[in-house]
Structure 1
Amino acid sequence: MTFITVIYGDNEQRMFNPHCTSLILLECIRKHCCRNDGNDGTLDLTDAVGNMKHLPDHLNSYANMYLEGRTKYWLVKVEKGITDEDPTRYTLLTNNSEKYYPDLSHKLQELSRPPSPSGRQSWATVRKKLPKTIKGSKRTHAKKR
């Protein structure tokens, strides 16, 4: 049987058995790793390079399907945006995360950025940057040889 290690708080570590449903694992992590400030949000885990495990999306599945044994994971608070256009915010639940885990903190900040505009708007932006050659009333983007 392999365990996972969860890092939280003041660089504290605690081992958990992932051979249970994600719901049970997350509730055990909340009970043992969160103080009063972490009880109101959704919890998830991330690996050392910032890959979110999305355990709340798979609450009835066994957590060991998404987690690798003998691996360290960091505790993250996930706050979904109010609307679909608002970004989901990921907060590392360790103290001084910028100091001790700067790369991981930076990756979670990137994930917390607002979603990109719809494909139609972004294509319009790209189209403006393309070189234009006007032939009659038609726009062509490639020069003929």
Structure 2
Amino acid sequence: MFITVLYGDNEHALFNIFCKIPVLLDCIKQNCHREIKAEIDLADESGQVKNLLQNQHCYASDILAERAVYILLGVNTKLGARLDSLSQPQGKVKKIHKNSASPSPSRSSTTDGKQNTSPHGKCKNTSTP
């Protein structure tokens, strides 16, 4: 199981994803021909960031697709923390009342209180043998 990581000026490298995410990120830093001191992450070809730093307890194969191509990104940790805080729902979900001709209070509707979780936000398999 491997991925291709694009970096630099039209350069690429293959990496095994059957390992924990911190190990993969360290290997990427070491093998991309420059010393990267900032945090890194990967994005797929459509631009979706994989948020590997938030899933460091997972195996990379749980988050990344086998034989896929990813783009190496440098991550500003302050910006990443700010984006995470903005993406989290703030407070309780409010009820939405529809105006109706009937005075009956049973004609109000509420929004679904469930949070939509991305498949990249949690490990697929967290059980250990």
Classify the TM-score, shorter chain. 0.5 to 0.7
SS at 1:29 equivalent? helix
**Runs of 5+ in structure 1 lacking a partner?**
82-86, 90-111, 120-141
* Structure 2 counterpart of 1:64: 61
**Cα deviation code 1:50-73 (max 9, x no counterpart):** 111111112221000000011100
Q: Measure the CA separation in 2 of the matches of 1:69 and 1:3.
A: 6
User: What is the correspondence of 1:1-145 to structure 2 with a 5 Å cutoff?
Assistant: 2-36=1-35, 39-81=36-78, 87-88=79-80
Alpha-carbon RMSD across the aligned residues, in angstroms, is 2.8
- Give TM-score scaled by structure 1 length: 0.54
Cα distance between partner residues in 1 of 2:46 and 2:69: 11
Residue identity (%): 37
Aligned match of 1:130: none
Pick 1 or 2: higher relative contact order, CA cutoff 8 A, min separation 6. 2
Q: From the CA coordinates, give the structure whose radius of gyration is larger.
A: 1
Provide the secondary structure at the position in 2 that maps to 1:50: coil
Q: Runs of 5+ in structure 2 lacking a partner?
A: 91-98, 100-129
User: Match of 1:5, as an amino acid?
Assistant: T
Q: Deviations over 1:64-93 (max 9, x none)?
A: 000001110000011022xxxxx439xxxx
Q: Distance in 1 between matches of 2:50 and 2:33?
A: 18
Q: TM-score, normalised by structure 2?
A: 0.60
Q: Distance in 1 between matches of 2:33 and 2:40?
A: 10
Q: What letter matches 2:68 in structure 1?
A: T
Q: Tell me: CA distance 1:42–1:34, structure 2 relative to 1, closer, same or farther (3 Å).
A: farther
Which stretches of structure 1, 4 residues or longer, exceed 6 Å deviation after superposition?
none
